[in-house]
Structure 1
Amino acid sequence: MPAGRWIGAVAACALLASCGGSEEQAGQGGPAGPGGAPMTVGYVTVDQTSVPIVADLAGRTSAYESSEVRPQVSGVIRKRMFEQGSIVHAGQTLYQIDSDPYQASLSEAQANLQSAQATLEAAQAKADRYKPLADMEAISRQDYTDARSQARQAAAAVAQAKAAIRTARINLNYTTVPAPITGRIGRSIATVGALVTANQADPLTTIQRLDPIYVDINQSSSDLLSLRRALASGDTVPSKAKVRLTLEDGEDYGRVGTIDFTEPVVDENTGTVTLRATFPNPEGLLLPGMYVTAHIAQAIERDAYLVPQQAVTRDPKGNATILVVGPDNKVVPRNVKAPRTQGAFWVVTDGLKPGDKIIVQGTAKVRPGQPVKAVPANTPEKLTSGQPKQGGGTESGAANGNKD
């Protein structure tokens, strides 16, 4: 055979072979493994479960109780009777104000009482003597009336003197400034020798109760509205509002708090609603004013699926798709609703059935309708990659090492 014809025949055979191979590969729906074997993919089996709806919200800590200590009488501070930064107890004396002027006022009030009591005795005796004389008309009725009136005025003066004594004693007691609550006391603003006045604007010091401690959490009104609608639909059920905290350094606080109440109004400036939670704080790790992140399980979504995030793809419009191992071990695309994530999973609320095998490994190498060899994800079995080994074999990564 002439050389030219022989070369043409060889080229025609090669072209036919290549076309046949392409048609066979296209008929299988995608690339195959070495020797035409189906691609190996890893899958997980999903089932319905109850998934908590967890909200991550910003919050700030505030003292459970806070009291600014102010003097209720004026005077010079003679003693400071506490250690700054220590724990003080309700009723404990914090400051001693100069009591001499108030002791003198008490003594004066006591003396005025004695004088009023003496005047009362004389006026009452005079009225008692005038009564029989007035009955016998030995004196005028007016004289008796005047005597009786003087006795009543003297009795009122005694009552006023007693009230003055009580006031003087109260002011004398106010010269010792007590702690109104139990808690940790701050620095002392006033020093010994400072002149203080009654009900002054500046406090002498501040006491805060830090165990337990409040955490004020802000949630947008739109999120709260969505949650209430979900609860009304019956797809979700309310959960006990337990709260966990992440601190400013990224570490978990380690203790669980509870929601006490939710403000009934929306802040006009921020569009948020304030939720107040209470946390135990025995070590005093949380201090007022700290920024924290609160994780609140506000409700539980029933009949949802947890799907690994790598199994879900989205188109430019945001629609979610999952590849499922269908009948005859062929790849079947499934449109699903995946509104949110939880940890390493998408929460799928629609589009799946219990027992579906979701492809999580090898998703980038398969196409819809392609037959595959499905194995449980993260198993030692090799996933075919089609790369030749040295020595004529193929080289592939382990299922637990290939993540597309």
Structure 2
Amino acid sequence: MQISYAEVRRTRGAALTAAFVLLLAACSDKGQPPPQAAAGPVQVGVVTVRTGGVQLSSELPGRLEAVRTAQVRARVAGILTKRLFNEGSDVKAGQVLFQIDAAPYQAALDSARAALARAQANKAQAQANEERYKPLAAAKAISQQDYLNLQTQLKQADADLLSSQAALRTAQINLGYASVVAPISGRIGRALVTEGALVGQGEATQLAQIQQIDPLYVNFTQPATEALRLRRAIEAGRLDRSAGATVVRVVLDDGSVHPQPAKLLFSDLTVDQASGQITLRAELPNPKGELLPGLYVRVRIEQATAPQAVLLPQQAVSRGGPQGDSVLVVVGQKPVRRPVRLGPAQGKQWVVLEGLKPGDKVVADGFQKLRPDSTVQAVEWQPPAAPGAAASVPASAAR
């Protein structure tokens, strides 16, 4: 059988076409990724909302100050002869601290006493003359002018006597000032002058300083905006005034709490224009004298009670976003952003006053895994264990 050239060409063309179609199909299959199983829900840690009464306390910066401070100064001039106290010791009001050379003041006192005696004698003589010449003046045995002169001499003698008495008191006071005494009870610092120094010459030289340190004042500051927000919340009924609002706890620099509570005395009437802060003052007992003026402390004060508040870890709250403060709440396996109203921070937690209800599940962990269309699986979030907690776990539990 003979095959024509035209039939051969048609057969070869059909074969090439079929091969090209198969090649395209193979390439198309290689370009498609293999089908994947649908992604599962994202696991996130949540905190289940529970409401309850929360004490709202603030921890504010403060500094200790002596209740009374007195400068011991020389009130008369002279050479300092003795120091009669131990530096850094406790002294009593009226205790002699320094002795200034008293010889000049003793001499001045003796002179004032002599002047007083002379004035008393002059008055006695003037009074005797006036009494002796009085009947003569009535009988016109002497001139009226002579009797008036005697009366004038008596009045001058009275004035001289009063002046001498005042000079005597001044001399006694100056002699007393030669013994420098403590104006208040308290703890005295170092002596600012030494024996042999000339003090009080032209000025009241400071010799030492005494501070009363039991009790101590605690001066601390609070932002005026925070105080105003707290006051408005109390007036609106969202917060209750704390029964312990006048009790202050002092936290020392090492983190320990002073065993004695302080009592709130007052809040200043003005706001510092530079810092926007209000100054408050409390009184802190310091019977052992362990705390010293100038020490930096933290002041913990209970200011209000939130009757139906929520505590959330700070990481669960987004602050300052387009919606303000907000949290992510799991609703039907979807994360939904919800605005909240915050109170003050309590340690590492925020107090939430509004925006949540009991049973809400607030996302506290796993934010980095979330996408806009994520489906989530909520598991109860556990706060990280404190350092060293693993060492206290029993061996049986570890196994």
User: 3-state DSSP class of the match of 1:284?
Assistant: coil
State how far apart, in whole Å, the 1-side matches of 2:317 and 2:230 are: 25
* Correspondences of 1:225-374 after superposition (within 5 Å): 225-239=228-242, 240-312=245-317, 317=322, 319-324=325-330, 333=336, 335-339=338-342, 340-356=344-360, 358=362
Q: Matches of 2:166 and 2:157 in 1, distance apart?
A: 14
- Secondary structure of the structure 1 residue equivalent to 2:171: helix
Counterpart among 45, 52, 61 of residue 48 in structure 1 = 52
Residue number in structure 2 paired with 1:388: none
Matched-pair contact (CA < 8 Å) for 2:69–2:209: yes
Pick from 83, 88, 91 the counterpart of residue 94 of structure 2. Answer: 91
Any unmatched runs of 5+ in structure 1? 33-38, 380-404
Name 2:11's counterpart in structure 1: none
Cα offset, 1:172, TM superposition: 0.9
The separation in 2 between residues aligned to 1:138 and 1:87, in whole angstroms, is: 74
CA shift digits 1:347-367 (9 cap, x unpaired): 112222234455657777789
Check whether the contact 1:75–1:197 (CA below 8 A) recurs between aligned residues.
yes
- Distance in 1 (CA, whole Å) between partners of 2:283 and 2:201 is 35
Aligned-residue CA RMSD (Å): 3.4
Q: Secondary structure in 2 aligned to 1:289? A: coil
Measured against aligned partners, the alpha-carbon deviations of 1:270-319 in whole angstroms (never above 9, x if no partner) come to 33322122212233332222222323333333422112345445695354
| Conserved? CA contact 1:338–1:346, under 8 Å | no
Superposed displacement of residue 139, structure 1: 1.1
Q: 1:116 aligns with which of 115, 119, 140?
A: 119
Task: Find the aligned partners of 1:102 and 1:315 in 2 and give their Cα distance.
Answer: 75
Residues 1:31 and 2:37 aligned together: no
TM score, norm. by length of structure 2: 0.76
Deviation at 1:201, TM superposition (A): 5.2
Specify whether residues 18 and 316 from structure 1 end up closer, same or farther in structure 2 by C-alpha distance, changes over 3 A only.
farther
**TM-fit CA distance, 1:244:** 2.7
1:112 is aligned with what amino acid?
A
Of the three residues 222, 227, 230, the one matched with 1:224 is: 227
* Counterpart-to-counterpart distance in 1, 2:134 and 2:359: 109
- Deviation per CA, 1:245-269, whole angstroms, max 9, x where unpaired? 3333444444432221122222333
TM-score for the superposition, normalised by structure 1? 0.75
1:193: which partner in 2? 196
Contact kept in structure 1, 2:327 and 2:362, CA below 8 Å? no
Q: Which residue of 2 aligns with 1:155?
A: 158
Q: Is the alpha carbon distance of 1:316 and 1:134 closer, same or farther for their aligned partners in structure 2, counting shifts above 3 Å?
A: closer
Structure 1 or 2, whichever has the larger Rg, is 2
Deviation digits for residues 326-365 of structure 1 (CA, Å, limit 9, x no counterpart): 68xx566461415253223221122222344556577777
Say if 2:313 and 2:349, in contact at 8 Å, map to a contact too: yes
In 1, Cα distance between the equivalents of 2:380 and 2:113?
95
Contact 1:134 1:141 in 2 (8 A): yes
Q: Percent identity?
A: 42
Paired with 1:245 and 1:297, the residues of 2 have a C-alpha distance of: 12
**Is the Cα–Cα contact under 8 Å of residues 266 and 280 in structure 2 kept in the other structure?**
yes
Contact 2:49 2:361 in 1 (8 A): yes
**Matched ranges for 1:56-67 at <5 A:** 56-67=59-70
Cα distance in 2, alignment partners of residues 107 and 43 from structure 1: 89
Determine if contact 1:46/1:357 at 8 Å carries over to the other structure.
no
- Aligned residue pairs total 352
Q: Residue 43 of structure 1 contacts residue 361 of structure 1 at CA under 8 Å; is this kept in 2?
A: no
Residues 236, 153 of structure 1: alpha-carbon distance in 2 compared, 3 angstrom cutoff = same
Q: Aligned AA for 1:88?
A: V
